[in-house]
A and B are shown apart, each in its own frame.
Chain A
Amino acid sequence: MAADAQQTPQQQLDEQLRSFEAALPDVADEPGLYELQVRFLGKNGAVTKLRRLMGKVPPSERKELGKAFNRVKQAMETHLATRAGELAAAARERDLARRVDLTFIPDPPRPGTLHPITQTRRELERVFRRLGFDVADGPHVEAELYSFDKLNILPDHPARDMQDTFFIERPTHLDHADAPALVLRPHTSPVQARTMLQHGAPVRIVAPGTTFRRDDDATHSPMFHQIEGLYVDRNVTMADLKATLYAFVEAFFGRGLGVRFRPSYFPFVEPGAEFDMQCPFCFDGQLSHGCGLCKQSGWIELGGSGMVHPAVFEHCGIDSSVYTGWAFGFGIDRMAMLRHGIPHLRHNFEGDLRVLEQFTSP
């Protein structure tokens, strides 16, 4: 600084400006720029120091020096602003130049899955809840009384042969004179009896659940799943059953598929009918023309239905001269297989991961 002593303050200012301008291009980032600003314009900066000389120059030169000082300061601030803009633009360019390959996914997600039977049961429950049904269930080990007698399937009657039933014996430590004979429920129908006994009429339920029959072949498993509907009230008719089944088929399969009844026999209903729906797999909006899944018939057999037999009402404490009702039932497993195109029953209960992991769902 000794050499500077010979220079005038204005020369010194210009010298600082040149020095500032020389340093500016080397500034690479915001902190560097701030450092430069502090070095020249900060509290102890070179320019700020020179301003302190103001008091030492003659008053006549003060005005000129003040002008020069402001000129240099302004020039520096303009340079700083410009450079800041350049740096920001460069930083943005660098930011934009980053490249990450988001299509490189070394560990794709493996979502957990719900069993197709669970998915189908829940979808059925959802649809029937929307139609105003409550969901009910009951024990799997059930009294013969509720599985058969209350449902008008009398002891020694050939109708008991319509399903081959597993019987359950109570262990000796629970011997009791009043203990009823027990079975694994061969249908979900005992839930009908229980619901009517417990709640009387009116009642509107679906009962999905696990059921058991002594059948084991390509199309039967000793354990399977059913859903039954029961509606009891004044003035309930078969036409109402048809309307409900239409609404269900529409909600479940989502198209204007027809439903038809075929007279049949189930001891707990009279009249009784099987019900079919138009095959959704070969349906053109009007007709189902026949395909492999409906064995070319255009119809898929769903299950049994009918008007609740007055004897069932009488056994379950409901006045059959006041109330009428209907019931229907069908297999959930078969519905799940239809819905998901599962070809073999054995896939249902084997637990094969290659099968299970296919059934992703919302």
Chain B
Amino acid sequence: MLISCTWLSELLGRPIDLSPVGEANDPFWAQNIAERLTSLGLEVEGIAYFELPKVIVGRVDAVSAHPDPKATKLNLVELFDGQASVQVVCGASNLPPVGGKVAFAPVGTTLPDGLELSARELRGVASHGMICSEAELDIGGDADGILVLPIDWEPGAELQDLVPGIRDAVIEISVTPNRPDALGHLGVARDLALALGCELQPPKLRSVADAPELPELVEVPASDRCPRYLGYALEGCTVGEAPLWLRTRLHRVGLRALNNVVDITNFVLMEVGQPMHAFDRARLAGERVVVRMAKPSEPITILDGSELELSTDDLVIADAESPQALAGVMGGAGSMVEAGTDRLLLEVAFFEPLAIRRSARRHGQHTDSSHRFERQVDYDAQLELAAGRALALLHDLCGATCVGRCDVRGPLPERAQIELDPAHVGRLLGMDVGPDEVARILSGLGVELDRSTEGAWLCHPPSYRPDLDRDVDLIEEVMRHHGLDDLPARHSVSPEQRVMLPEDPKRGLADALTDGLRARGLHEHVGLAFVAEALIAPVAAEFEPSQLVRPVNPMRSQQACMRPHLLPGLLDAVTYNHAHHARALALFEVGRIYRWPLSQPELQPSATSEVDPFLPDEPYRAAAIRVGQSQSKTGEVARALTDDLLACLARVGLHAQARPQAEPCAWLHPGIQAGLWIGPTRVGVVGELHPDVVAARDLSELELGYGELWLEALPQPPVVQFEDIARFPATTRDLSLDLDQRVSSHEVVAALAGAAASALSSGDDPPQLANADDPRQPIVLLEDYRGEGVEPGRHALLLRLNYRARSRSVTDAEVTAVHDAVVAGALATLAAIDPAARVR
């Protein structure tokens, strides 16, 4: 909302310093007015200063054609500037006849667009300045011709001294939805009057109390949607151009001037905040209006030319035949006021706010009117004031007189009655505000107070403040006007007196895994939670299409889904980085994915059970991606990622194993992938990305490793219990096995451990497979060798087995016996997968 300081100054009855540089301690300097507005909760977005020095009234003394025969559009104008005659070349087609007055910018003037005028020649004739249009002077929107001034204005006078509002400071405020009263200059001035200690000056009104009642003028069958309608029949109206001061005023607050009648309704809209509409009464069938609900699919063409198809929830102002306005939103083209209109029907109404909002949204018509009606305008004194103001201006500027009126009332909102305990003000704010100060502020804002009772006061807020509904609303008013600068910073309760709520363990786990991956040298990426549907394709087998969570109103198709997986987002980041610089890339993301459950979960009783069973699943995932650096693909990246993920789990006390995948994951390389398991639970997957997935992203030259952990599957890390430390040395045996390359280390270790379990279970304190470095890994993997000496398709696995007894040293001989039994047992097991498995 643009607020003109010139306008404010009229309403406050005090001059306002409109210059950009003013007295720092002058409360009436525009800059300080702006700061005051911010401190009152009317946040200032910016302030613009306007002035127009040196532009004066010029009198046309003579007009002659330009001597150059080709310059048919140019005229030589002899202008009197109050002191002397100057010659100006002018190309306008609307030059007034000799004696007419124009806006003249002499040489040396700087126009609002920054152009500094100098004497120059136009096709060989000197021009000593410029005759200007409204647009060139930035006092109106009309750029078609020059500005022609009233004939009686004195040549030589500065324009800005003659027209209030040319020099102005315009403050842009952002008005929160609770303050419809501040959507007009009057409401803003009311706040300022109280803050600055001056008296609000009501604008000039015209009473039409003596005009006859004309009940047939307006009929309101939909009275619950239009609880009050003031209608006025006016005659003798001359439609034309509004005076310059009014046009300038509208231009300053961002509105376009049309004709004097429309400009006056807009002027009152900006001054009082009350939208109104003027119909050409002669064009209304039956010369009357009916405020009714629209019929199904009833059409209307509104002022901006659009044709709307109305619904039965739309309120219309109709004549005897058809809708003439979409109530509270926009007038209809059929009865608009234009040149030649001489009889008006002026509407000043109060519409039910929420219904106006529905209409405006339904038809995509957010207008200055609907903006105010949906926030609730006044239905009482201020409505009448707006009408009186418009009638005065229509009388003074258009010659229109009121020949009939009516005031149709339906069920008006009830005025709030609030009990306010003045002591509660200080209690809520935490500072002392005396009852007299509370009373001063509230009465200053128009709240009627009954202080006669002990304790709580009975307060009646004014009808133009629908936001004042409860005692806290009044306390906010006190806070706004008393100010918060002297609010102490004081803890009301000691911080020790704290409440401990249970916390979501998954958040802590997510943070710990984040730290773990970061400690492995990976970089955390935060990706958008949205993803394009096409990019989900590689991982689509992981879920049903119906599990995708989709915003109804995405901003673009690339953001059509909530991510059901972290891979697409990380691949986006790889693609981005690959396009910008090819370098070692290791990224991870820990965040939520979104999937609908496959079926409606059971209702669990809880305080939020009305919502929780109906939400999608949002499990956390920790995903990491690495780009290999070697020329050829070695699988080393996937192996490094496996290390990363296992280390990251170990760091939070979870000891996981990589195991071969019983059912390979379709988007990972079929021969380079593993499941990550903790005991009987698979908690993640890791591998090299499938060549097809990589090719689909045009990244085929890269070796990409990807792995992820599923936080919902991770168990709580156990609290570790003490184990006695090993006191006797271990004896080691190295073992080299020749195996098919399909046989994984995991299977070999499992076979050895299984054989050991059955081979070693007998006897008193027999040698056990044990490892001094890591009690959880009695078998150490030394090397996975492929190459010379090993047949193609096979690999040599070198392992070290540690044997130790609990309470004694073991002998070489007994270890050899046990070891041989273990190896034989393991080979027997492995024969099921690889009959050729043997010791090398």
- A residues within 8 Å of B by Cβ? 110-115, 117-118, 122, 131-132, 134-137, 139-143, 145-146, 156-159, 161-162, 166-174, 176, 178-180, 182, 184, 194-195, 197-199, 202-205, 210, 212, 214, 216, 221-223, 233, 235-240, 242-246, 259-265, 267, 270-274, 307, 309-311, 317, 324, 348-354, 356-357
Give 13 A-B contacts (CB < 8 Å), ordered by A residue.
Answer: A112-B518, A136-B501, A139-B618, A156-B357, A167-B553, A173-B598, A199-B501, A202-B499, A237-B427, A263-B39, A264-B41, A271-B428, A273-B41
Quick check: which of B204-212, B453-461, B570-578 contacts chain A, the rest being far away?
B570-578
Interface centre among B495, B526, B527, B583 (most CB of A within 10 A): B526
**Could you say which of B41, B488, B562 contacts A239, with CB atoms under 8 Å apart?**
B488
Cβ A260 vs Cβ B484 within 8 A = yes
Cβ A197 vs Cβ B430 within 8 A = no
Q: What residue in chain B is nearest A212 (Cβ atoms)?
A: B529
- B475 interfacial contact with A, CB 8 Å: yes
- B701 interfacial contact with A, CB 8 Å: no
Q: What residue in chain B is nearest A222 (Cβ atoms)?
A: B555
Cβ B487 vs Cβ A238 within 8 A = yes
Q: How far is the CA of A111 from the CA of B519 in the complex (A)?
A: 7
Q: How far is the CA of A176 from the CA of B609 in the complex (A)?
A: 14
Known: A145-B610, A235-B492. A174 touches B528 (CB 8 A): no
- B614 interfacial contact with A, CB 8 Å: yes
Cβ A204 vs Cβ B472 within 8 A = no
Q: Which residues of B contact A112 (CB under 8 A)?
A: 517-524, 586
- What distance in Å separates the Cβ of A297 from its nearest Cβ neighbour in chain B? 10
Q: Which residues of B contact A197 (CB under 8 A)?
A: 607-608
Cβ B493 vs Cβ A265 within 8 A = no
Q: Which residues of A contact B550 (CB under 8 A)?
A: 168-169
Residues 539-562 of B, flagged 1 when their CB comes within 8 A of A and 0 if not, give 000000011111111111001001
Q: Which residues of A contact B608 (CB under 8 A)?
A: 146, 194, 197-198
Q: Which residues of B contact A264 (CB under 8 A)?
A: 41, 43, 176
Q: Which residues of A contact B529 (CB under 8 A)?
A: 140, 210, 212, 223
Q: What residue in chain A is nearest B627 (Cβ atoms)?
A: A353
Known: A115-B525, A168-B550, A307-B428. A137 touches B476 (CB 8 A): no
Known: A143-B611, A242-B489, A263-B39. A214 touches B553 (CB 8 A): yes
Q: How far is the CA of A356 from the CA of B550 in the complex (A)?
A: 29
- What distance in Å separates the Cβ of B536 from its nearest Cβ neighbour in chain A? 15
- B504 interfacial contact with A, CB 8 Å: yes
**Could you say which of A143, A157, A311 contacts B354, with CB atoms under 8 Å apart?**
A157
Looking at chain B's contact residues, is the secondary structure mostly helix, strand, loop, or mixed? loop
Q: Which residues of B contact A243 (CB under 8 A)?
A: 489-491
- What distance in Å separates the Cβ of A311 from its nearest Cβ neighbour in chain B? 8
Q: Which residues of B contact A239 (CB under 8 A)?
A: 429-431, 487-490, 492
Cβ A222 vs Cβ B559 within 8 A = yes
Cβ B38 vs Cβ A238 within 8 A = no
Residues 498-533 of B, flagged 1 when their CB comes within 8 A of A and 0 if not, give 111101100100010011011111111111111000
Q: Which residues of A contact B39 (CB under 8 A)?
A: 262-263
Looking at chain A's contact residues, is the secondary structure mostly helix, strand, loop, or mixed? mixed
- B409 interfacial contact with A, CB 8 Å: no
- What distance in Å separates the Cβ of B765 from its nearest Cβ neighbour in chain A? 43
- B95 interfacial contact with A, CB 8 Å: no
**Could you say which of A174, A178, A260 contacts B610, with CB atoms under 8 Å apart?**
A178
Interface centre among A157, A263, A317, A352 (most CB of B within 10 A): A263
3 nearest A-B residue pairs (beta carbon): A239-B430, A237-B430, A351-B573
Q: Which residues of A contact B374 (CB under 8 A)?
A: 158
- What distance in Å separates the Cβ of A36 from its nearest Cβ neighbour in chain B? 37
Quick check: which of B589-597, B679-687, B751-759 contacts chain A, the rest being far away?
B589-597
Cβ A176 vs Cβ B600 within 8 A = yes
Q: How far is the CA of A169 from the CA of B596 in the complex (A)?
A: 11
**Could you say which of B496, B572, B577, B610 contacts A353, with CB atoms under 8 Å apart?**
B577
Known: A243-B491, A264-B41. A353 touches B585 (CB 8 A): yes
Q: What residue in chain A is nearest B480 (Cβ atoms)?
A: A263
- B381 interfacial contact with A, CB 8 Å: no
Q: What residue in chain B is nearest A134 (Cβ atoms)?
A: B501
Cβ B488 vs Cβ A242 within 8 A = yes
- B587 interfacial contact with A, CB 8 Å: yes
Q: What residue in chain B is nearest A233 (Cβ atoms)?
A: B493
Q: What residue in chain B is nearest A333 (Cβ atoms)?
A: B526
Q: Which residues of A contact B492 (CB under 8 A)?
A: 233, 235-237, 239-240
Q: How far is the CA of A244 from the CA of B490 in the complex (A)?
A: 8
Q: Which residues of B contact A170 (CB under 8 A)?
A: 596, 614
- What distance in Å separates the Cβ of B782 from its nearest Cβ neighbour in chain A? 25
**Could you say which of A114, A122, A195 contacts B501, with CB atoms under 8 Å apart?**
A195
- B70 interfacial contact with A, CB 8 Å: no
**Could you say which of A145, A203, A222 contacts B528, with CB atoms under 8 Å apart?**
A222
Known: A136-B503, A263-B476, A271-B475. A115 touches B489 (CB 8 A): no
Cβ B551 vs Cβ A184 within 8 A = yes
Cβ A114 vs Cβ B524 within 8 A = yes
Q: What residue in chain A is nearest B606 (Cβ atoms)?
A: A198
Cβ B562 vs Cβ A141 within 8 A = yes
Q: How far is the CA of A167 from the CA of B549 in the complex (A)?
A: 11
- What distance in Å separates the Cβ of A353 from its nearest Cβ neighbour in chain B? 5
**Could you say which of A111, A139, A210, A237 contacts B428, with CB atoms under 8 Å apart?**
A237
Interface centre among B487, B492, B530, B570 (most CB of A within 10 A): B492
Cβ B611 vs Cβ A180 within 8 A = yes
Q: Which residues of A contact B501 (CB under 8 A)?
A: 134, 136, 195, 199, 203, 205
Q: Which residues of A contact B570 (CB under 8 A)?
A: 351
**Could you say which of A176, A263, A267, A349 contacts B614, with CB atoms under 8 Å apart?**
A176
- B599 interfacial contact with A, CB 8 Å: yes
- What distance in Å separates the Cβ of B609 from its nearest Cβ neighbour in chain A? 10
Cβ B580 vs Cβ A352 within 8 A = yes
- What distance in Å separates the Cβ of A242 from its nearest Cβ neighbour in chain B? 4
Q: What residue in chain B is nearest A258 (Cβ atoms)?
A: B489
Q: Which residues of A contact B500 (CB under 8 A)?
A: 134
- B654 interfacial contact with A, CB 8 Å: no
Q: Which residues of B contact A135 (CB under 8 A)?
A: 503, 507
Q: Which residues of B contact A172 (CB under 8 A)?
A: 546
Cβ A237 vs Cβ B429 within 8 A = yes
Q: How far is the CA of A39 from the CA of B577 in the complex (A)?
A: 73
Cβ B526 vs Cβ A132 within 8 A = no
- What distance in Å separates the Cβ of B487 from its nearest Cβ neighbour in chain A? 6
Q: How far is the CA of A131 from the CA of B496 in the complex (A)?
A: 9
Cβ B523 vs Cβ A161 within 8 A = no
Cβ A273 vs Cβ B430 within 8 A = no
- B479 interfacial contact with A, CB 8 Å: yes
Known: A122-B511, A146-B611, A242-B487. A351 touches B576 (CB 8 A): yes
Cβ B594 vs Cβ A348 within 8 A = no
Known: A169-B552, A270-B470. A113 touches B523 (CB 8 A): yes
Cβ B618 vs Cβ A235 within 8 A = no
- B228 interfacial contact with A, CB 8 Å: no
Q: Which residues of B contact A139 (CB under 8 A)?
A: 612, 615-616, 618
Q: What residue in chain B is nearest A308 (Cβ atoms)?
A: B472
- What distance in Å separates the Cβ of A155 from its nearest Cβ neighbour in chain B? 8
**Could you say which of A122, A171, A242, A351 contacts B525, with CB atoms under 8 Å apart?**
A351
Q: How far is the CA of A194 from the CA of B609 in the complex (A)?
A: 11
Q: What residue in chain B is nearest A169 (Cβ atoms)?
A: B552
Q: How far is the CA of A156 from the CA of B362 in the complex (A)?
A: 12
Cβ B576 vs Cβ A262 within 8 A = no
Cβ B594 vs Cβ A140 within 8 A = yes
- What distance in Å separates the Cβ of A171 from its nearest Cβ neighbour in chain B? 5
Known: A131-B495, A169-B552, A240-B430. A263 touches B577 (CB 8 A): no
Q: How far is the CA of A114 from the CA of B519 in the complex (A)?
A: 10
Cβ B554 vs Cβ A166 within 8 A = yes
Cβ A134 vs Cβ B499 within 8 A = yes
Q: What residue in chain B is nearest A266 (Cβ atoms)?
A: B176
Residues 667-711 of B, flagged 1 when their CB comes within 8 A of A and 0 if not, give 000000000000000000000000000000000000000000000
**Could you say which of A117, A157, A240, A317 contacts B491, with CB atoms under 8 Å apart?**
A240
Which of B169-211 touch A at CB < 8 Å?
Answer: 176-179
